[in-house]
């Protein structure tokens, strides 16, 4: 079966979805599992690298899903035509790589109703993308697996302008409403790490005051919400 992390991604794909693209699919485990569980779903697995691309082709063949999963080699959303899918998943990459992929493919995002994103780091850049490109954050989660902590952020296009506070961008507007165990665990870890980084930064010959101020603000947000 899927990892706990990819299972969460799978569970955040809305039930009405009929076609979705998984970008950076590696072995195409996610589209294979979704298609096995949902007989009416069609998927596209995108990969920019030859190795993972061939792994995906092989996996789809051995799952006998070649009729329903199209594996494509190419960069980001460039493998998609307009209005081909109603949902896109991007998992297991850094938040800023994910937002770069989205920004470079804005033209195919028209008609895409749901973006299920699982950044390994830097989820806040995805929330900033939501503000900049008028997406609403409709779901989030923080999960712990094998000692690693992952965040998930689900976006949908919004008719009206979107705004989130600095604290919401940092900690997640949905997570702030539904804090779970992994959320507390993640932010406690970050808290102690940031505190010690600040101490190191203060000892520099020319301390980066702006960065220190930013970290202090983040520490304060964590204090308000986690302790
Ligand atoms: N999505 C899978 C998961 O969550 O387990 C695989 C994650 S793997 C760490 C990241 C994958 O993204 C790699 O296979 C890499 O080749 C692919 N990738 C990185 N940049 C990409 C891009 N611009 N377009 C398509 N795939 C990309």
At residue 180, the pLDDT reads 98
The residue among 1, 73, 15, 12 whose CA lies nearest residue 44 is: 73
Residue 216 shares a structural domain with residue 188? yes
By the 8 A CB rule, do 73 and 53 touch?
A: yes
Residue at which a domain ends, from 114, 137, 164: 164
Residue 146 shares a structural domain with residue 204? no
Residue 136 shares a structural domain with residue 219? no
Residue 218 shares a structural domain with residue 114? no
Q: Is residue 174 part of a domain?
A: no
Whether residue 94 has its Cβ less than 6 Å from ligand 1: no
pLDDT per residue over 131-162, tens digit each? 999 999 999 999 999 999 999 999 999 999 99
Q: What is the largest CA-CA distance in the chain?
A: 62
At residue 218, the pLDDT reads 98
Tell the residue nearest (CA) to atom 19 of ligand 1. 24
Q: Is residue 109 part of a domain?
A: yes
Residue 156 shares a structural domain with residue 192? no
Whether residue 31 has its Cβ less than 6 Å from ligand 1: no
Task: Transcribe the chain into DSSP letters.
Answer: ---HHHHHHHHTS-TT--EEEEET-TTTHHHHHHHHH-TT-EEEEEESSHHHHHHHHHHHHHTT-TTTEEEEESSGGGGPPTTS-SEEEEEEE-HHHHHHHHHTTHHHHTT--EEEEEESS-HHHHHHHHHHTTEEEEEEEEEEETTEEEEEEEEEE-SS-----HHHHHH-HHHHHS--HHHHHHHHHHHHHHHHHHHHHHTSSS--HHHHHHHHHHHHHHHHHH-
Residue at which a domain ends, from 113, 129, 164: 164
At residue 91, the pLDDT reads 98
Q: Is residue 214 part of a domain?
A: yes
How would you class 175 by CB atoms within 10 Å of its CB: exposed for 0-12, middle for 13-18, buried for 19 or more? Answer: buried
Residue 146 shares a structural domain with residue 72? yes
Ligand 1 binding pocket mutation candidate from 5, 13, 20, 26 (most atoms within 8 A of CB): 26
Ligand 1 centroid–CA 215 distance in Å is 30
- As averages over each run of 10 residues, the pLDDT of the chain (227 residues) reads 96 98 98 98 98 98 98 98 97 98 96 97 98 98 96 98 97 98 98 96 94 97 97
Whether residue 150 has its Cβ less than 6 Å from ligand 1: no
Whether residue 121 has its Cβ less than 6 Å from ligand 1: no
Q: In what order do the strands lie in the sheet with 87-93?
A: 69-73, 42-47, 19-23, 87-93, 114-119, 148-157, 135-145
Residue 160 shares a structural domain with residue 130? yes
Q: Please give the tally of structural domains in the chain.
A: 2
At residue 126, the pLDDT reads 98
Q: Is residue 94 part of a domain?
A: yes
Whether residue 89 has its Cβ less than 6 Å from ligand 1: no
Q: Is residue 11 part of a domain?
A: yes
Q: Is residue 175 part of a domain?
A: no
Full residue range of the structural domain in which residue 79 is found: 4-164
Q: Is residue 8 part of a domain?
A: yes
Residue 158 shares a structural domain with residue 190? no
Residue 58 shares a structural domain with residue 104? yes
Tell the residue nearest (CA) to atom 12 of ligand 1. 24
Residue 132 shares a structural domain with residue 198? no
Residue 158 shares a structural domain with residue 193? no
Whether residue 104 has its Cβ less than 6 Å from ligand 1: no
At residue 41, the pLDDT reads 98
Q: What is the ipTM of this complex?
A: 0.99
Number of neighbouring beta carbons within 10 Å of residue 68 = 20
Residue 146 shares a structural domain with residue 213? no
By the 8 A CB rule, do 225 and 167 touch?
A: yes
Question: In the Cβ-directed half-sphere of 2, how many Cα atoms lie within 13 Å?
Answer: 20
CATH code where residue 82 lies: 3.40.50.150
Long-range contact pairs involving 161-164 (C-beta distance under 8 Å, separation at least 24) = 161/134, 162/130, 162/131, 162/134, 162/135, 162/136, 163/131, 164/127, 164/130, 164/131, 164/137
At residue 103, the pLDDT reads 98
Q: Is residue 176 part of a domain?
A: no
Tell the residue nearest (CA) to atom 18 of ligand 1. 24
């Amino acid at each position: 079966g899927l990892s706990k992390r990819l299972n969460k991604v799978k569970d955040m794909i809305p039930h009405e979805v009929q076609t979705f693209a998984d970008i950076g699919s590696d072995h195409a485990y996610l589209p294979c599992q979704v298609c096995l569980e949902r007989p009416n779903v069609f998927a596209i697995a995108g990969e920019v690298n030859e190795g993972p691309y061939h792994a995906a082709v092989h996996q789809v063949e051995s799952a006998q899903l070649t009729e329903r999963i199209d594996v494509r080699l190419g960069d980001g959303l460039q493998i998609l035509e307009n209005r081909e899918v109603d949902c896109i998943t991007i998992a297991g990459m850094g938040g800023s790589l994910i937002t770069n992929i989205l920004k470079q493919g804005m033209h195919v995002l028209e008609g895409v109703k749901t973006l299920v994103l699982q950044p390994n780091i830097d989820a806040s850049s995805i929330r900033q993308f939501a503000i900049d490109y008028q997406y609403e954050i409709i779901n989030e989660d923080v999960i712990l697996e094998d000692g690693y902590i992952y965040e998930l952020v689900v976006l949908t296009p919004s008719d009206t302008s979107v705004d989130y506070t600095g604290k919401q961008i940092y900690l997640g507007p949905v997570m702030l409403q539904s804090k779970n165990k992994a959320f507390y665990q993640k932010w406690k870890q970050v808290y102690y790490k940031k505190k010690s980084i600040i101490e190191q930064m203060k000892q520099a010959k020319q301390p980066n005051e702006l960065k220190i101020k930013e970290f202090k603000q983040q520490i304060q947000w964590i204090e308000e919400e986690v302790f």
